Amino acid sequence: MENSKIIVVLVAAGLLATGCGSSDAEDGAGGAAQKALPVAIDGPQKDVVPQRETGEKLKITPLPAMNAPFVEKVEHNLRQAVLRSARVPGETSAKCPDGVDEKAGAVSQCVATYEGAEIPYEVKISDSAKKGSSLIFFDTTPKKGLLVAKAVYDSLNESYGSESGRTDASKLACEEMPAAKAVPLGKDTGFTCQYWTKFANQGEPGYATLRLKMGAQGYGLGFEPVE
């Protein structure tokens, strides 16, 4: 039984310091930039499934047979977990190269892939599991985070786009990102996005820059202001 959680964490951006000048000029102060990033975000991204609908719309079929080996059920669970984490339909696979130890409290190592990005998982059997039981509970914990470009662009639009209710943000854009990439947990991904605001520099207009950081549990990306 799947017991992992998928949470999208969006960090609200603060006001950033930028300099005045032409749209092509860059100002290193506070990490703000006057140059537009290459990928313009003008609305919701095609194929991205809202988080609340992933359970219904992103399903790996067929389900393993009731009498299928336990390892096959775990691998199916991992494919399902990584797909719902991605929020975008794509090719998945999963493998537990040394099998799955079914003893109570046992920990096994597996890998799930989404569009070629490999996410290692730790699979832990419930401490209360009983040998020979027909129902074994387990937890799956990702050891890396999954960055999906379309999902990032869509989340930026949700947080700062015209439908977000914000009146201080426009001209959303991001760096070009890979379709899917495994990234370290709880760290800066190395990618940035931005939005145009009238209040970037003490009331003067400019781009506010957002750093993209993977959540510590691998369940979501956060936008952090570059100060």
pLDDT for 123 beyond 80: yes
What does the pLDDT look like over 170-194, one tens digit per residue? 999 999 999 999 999 999 999 999 9
- Cα distances from 109 to residues 98, 100, 116, 127, 220, in angstroms, run 8, 8, 18, 17, 22
Confidence of residue 103 (pLDDT cuts 50, 70, 90): very high
pTM for this model (two decimals): 0.80
> If you count them, how many residues does the chain have?
227
SS3 83: helix
pLDDT for position 162 = 82
What b/e sequence results for 169-180 when a residue is b if at least 16 CB atoms lie within 10 Å of its CB, and e otherwise? bebbbbeebeeb
Q: Are 19 and 13 in contact (CB under 8 A)?
A: no
Least confident of 87-101, 156-170, 171-185: 156-170
pLDDT for 24 beyond 50: no
